[in-house]
Amino acid sequence: MVFFGYNEMRLHNVSKTAGFRGWWFQKHRLASMATQTASSLPFVPNSPPLDCAQQEQLQQFIYSSQQLFVMTGAGISTESGIPDYRSEGVGLFAKTDRRPIQHKEFIQSASARQRYWARNFLGWSQFSSHEPNAAHWALNYWEKLGKLHWLVTQNVDALHTKAGSQCLTELHGCTHRIICLGCGLRIARSELQDRFIALNPMWTAEVQGVAPDGDAFITEEQIIHFRIPACATCGGILKPDVTFFGDSVSPAKVTDVYQHLSESDAVLVVGSSLQVYSGYRFILAAYEKKLPIAILNIGPTRADHLASVKVASRCGKVLPEILTLRET
């Protein structure tokens, strides 16, 4: 997988040695400490006390799998300080009437693109600085052990890549990459940020909050003087390499995910309500194939009735506890 701008963040190739395990446990310990000492987790909804019997069920579920397929959603990244849309009481949809940009709107309206990029420009520094939490590191550890066969994330925040995951499909793309809708050129989002700065050296705006995808909330009056660049190669429209609301995941990517699912023997959903069909369809396919399904998510999901195991607790609390995976 090519990931622009973050090759330097990839982990060194390591084997299943005591040295690697020691390295990972140190990483996990630091991530856990950061979570435990935080004054609050403002984007994580309240959850009931962890049910030990359910945690044991989940642990046995994972032990029993040799080719685990994992799908993650926004609930795995809220502990890294990234808000989501749907969490009860704390998600964007619950706290504001603001809604993410639609694909059609971005394509058809120059003023919509200006608004989007002005907000994104202001929010980018904070959004791009978020780091993986203990749950991201745990999944990377399982991959290194050979337990995790494939990871599909619905998130666009690059945190799995920052944690070193290689067997990875970013179902909805990644905000750290930019694509030209004219010629298909891809560049790093950091490169576009430099171009924004060059075009808007005196432009400032007061940020009134940051949305889940990294764009800041600002007033319409602050947007009108913001300038956006075109593709340096063909003059085309530049867009984040992500699937906006109202758009569809590419058929080739969908086919690829189905292939990885067909090679798997169990499915684990982590931090997703599965309300978006682009991810839910793979869980339906797993159920039709009679693959066992487990869900780790605070709050109800669209697939609760399909799962044999459901744990309603924080991802960063539960996944790192499943560390005694028996190597085969």
What's the pLDDT tens digit per position in 290-324?
999 999 999 899 999 999 999 999 999 899 988 65
What is the average pLDDT across 263-286?
A: 96
* Residue 138, CA atoms < 13 Å, CB-side half-sphere: 22
Q: Classify residue 95 by its DSSP letter.
A: H
- Does the annotation list 15 as a binding residue? no
Q: Give whole-number Cα distances, 70 to 35, 249, 252, in Å.
A: 23, 18, 19
- Does the annotation list 83 as a binding residue? yes
- Note the pLDDT of residue 90: 44
> Would the pLDDT of 18 be above 50?
no
- Does the annotation list 86 as a binding residue? yes
- Note the pLDDT of residue 196: 96
pTM of the model: 0.84
- Note the pLDDT of residue 273: 93
For residue 165, the one-letter residue type is S
- Note the pLDDT of residue 36: 45
- Does the annotation list 119 as a binding residue? no
For residue 135, the one-letter residue type is A
> Would the pLDDT of 19 be above 80?
no
- Does the annotation list 89 as a binding residue? yes
202 vs 198: which has the higher pLDDT: 198
Sequence-distant (6+) residues with CB within 8 A of 286 are: 69, 261, 264, 267, 293
Structure tokens at 56: 């044991």
| Closest among 176, 172, 177, 173 to 279, alpha carbons compared | 172
* Calpha distance 159→230 (Å, rounded): 28
- Does the annotation list 88 as a binding residue? yes
What is the average pLDDT across 194-215?
A: 78
Q: Which residues are known catalytic residues?
A: 172
- Does the annotation list 52 as a binding residue? no
> Would the pLDDT of 252 be above 50?
yes
- Specify the DSSP element, H or E, that contains 296: strand 293-296
Query: Three-state SS for 291?
Result: coil
Confidence label for 101 from pLDDT (cuts 50, 70 and 90): confident
> Would the pLDDT of 13 be above 90?
no
251 vs 95: which has the higher pLDDT: 251
| Closest among 51, 79, 50 to 138, alpha carbons compared | 79
- Specify the DSSP element, H or E, that contains 70: strand 68-72
Asked if 269 contacts 301 with a C-beta cutoff of 8 angstroms, the reply is yes
Asked if 96 contacts 86 with a C-beta cutoff of 8 angstroms, the reply is no
| Closest among 228, 246, 81, 256 to 170, alpha carbons compared | 256
Scanning 43-188, the segments in alpha helix (DSSP H) are: 52-64, 92-95, 103-108, 110-128, 134-145, 159-162
Query: Which region among 58-67, 98-107, 249-258 has the lowest average model confidence (pLDDT)?
Result: 98-107
Scanning the chain, the segments in alpha helix (DSSP H) are: 18-37, 52-64, 92-95, 103-108, 110-128, 134-145, 159-162, 189-199, 220-223, 251-262, 277-288, 315-318
- Does the annotation list 180 as a binding residue? yes
> Would the pLDDT of 262 be above 90?
yes
Indicate the average pLDDT of the chain.
83
Confidence label for 74 from pLDDT (cuts 50, 70 and 90): very high
Residue appearing with tokens 């890549």: 161
pLDDT, tens digit, 9 for 90 and up, residues 135-178: 999 999 999 999 999 999 999 999 999 999 999 999 999 999 99
- Does the annotation list 85 as a binding residue? yes
For the chain, list the domains and their CATH numbers: 50-321 (3.40.50.1220)
- Note the pLDDT of residue 255: 98
- Note the pLDDT of residue 246: 87
CB atoms within 10 A of CB 151: 25
Radius of gyration of the chain, Cα coordinates, nearest whole angstrom:
20
Give the rounded percent of residues in the chain with a pLDDT score beyond 90: 62
Query: Three-state SS for 242?
Result: strand
What is the average pLDDT across 54-72?
A: 95
Please give the biggest Cα pair distance in the chain. 61
- Does the annotation list 298 as a binding residue? yes
- Note the pLDDT of residue 8: 31
Helix axes 277-288, 251-262, angle to 10 degrees: 30
Q: How far is CA 22 from the centre of its chain?
A: 26
